[in-house]
Amino acid sequence: MGQCVILDEGVIIEGAENISISDFVWIDKNVRLIANWGGISIGRRVHVAENVVIAGGGHVEIGDYVGIARGVSIYSHSEAPVGGKRMSGPMVPEYQKGIKSAPVKILKDAFISVNAVILPGVTIGTGAIVGANSLVRKDVKDWEIVFGTPAKPIGNRPKVTVEDI
**Range in 80-84, 116-120, 135-139 with the lowest mean pLDDT:** 80-84
Predicted structure pTM score:
0.94
Give 13-156's CATH code, choosing from 2.160.10.10, 1.10.3720.10, 3.30.230.10, 3.40.80.10.
2.160.10.10
pLDDT confidence tier of residue 13, bands split at 50, 70 and 90: very high
Identify the pLDDT of residue 81.
85
Domain boundaries, the chain: 13-156
Confidence of residue 71 (pLDDT cuts 50, 70, 90): very high
Question: Is residue 10's pLDDT more than 90?
Answer: yes
Burial per residue of 99-131, b for 16 or more beta-carbon CB atoms within 10 angstroms, e otherwise = bbbebbbbbbbbbbbbbbbbbbbbbbbbbbbbb
